[in-house]
A = this chain, B = another copy of it.
Amino acid sequence: MENLKSAIRQFVGDRDWEQFHTPKNLAMALSVEVSEIMEHFQWLTPKQSRNLPPEKIEDVAEEIGDVMIYLVELSEELGIDPIMAATDKVRANSSKYPADLVRGKAAKYTEYRQGE
């Protein structure tokens, strides 16, 4: 992760692109790249989405790379550690959705997760 951070910092710095990379613009770019992941899945059945052919997985890997780049860059701009933020959130969700209450319940699931 530290290597990735410095590679991104250097890439952006070498091109003098910090001026374009405001948090606002990075949030937009992040959203655009996530849509490029979603585009691969939009017409697939749930089952097909679990069985992507290898060349499709390579395409998705590239988009996941783009999303990760913007997520790391946005986090850096705001002084946030994305892995720590995720770890904290898993912990918070563990209390919020007690396993005993929500286990395997499709109907409940949506309700519980709604508006998260």
Interface residues of A, Cβ cutoff 8 Å to B: 1, 3-4, 7-8, 11, 14-17, 19-20, 22-25, 27-32, 34-47, 49-50, 52, 57, 60-62, 64-69, 71-72, 74-75, 77-80, 82-83, 85-91, 93-94, 97, 99, 102-104, 106, 109-110, 113-116
Give the chain B neighbours of A62 by CB distance below 8 A. Answer: 85, 89
B69 touches A89 (CB 8 A): yes
- A23 to B72 alpha-carbon distance, docked (Å): 22
* Other A-B pairs beyond A23-B52, A24-B49, A31-B31, 12, CB < 8 Å: A1-B83, A4-B87, A22-B49, A25-B46, A27-B38, A31-B34, A39-B114, A44-B110, A64-B86, A65-B89, A66-B116, A68-B86
Give the chain B neighbours of A42 by CB distance below 8 A. Answer: 25, 28-29, 32
B41 touches A27 (CB 8 A): yes
Copies of this protein in the complex: 4
B77 touches A50 (CB 8 A): yes
Offer 7 A-B interface pairs, CB within 8 angstroms, sorted by A. A29-B43, A32-B39, A40-B114, A62-B89, A64-B75, A67-B71, A68-B71
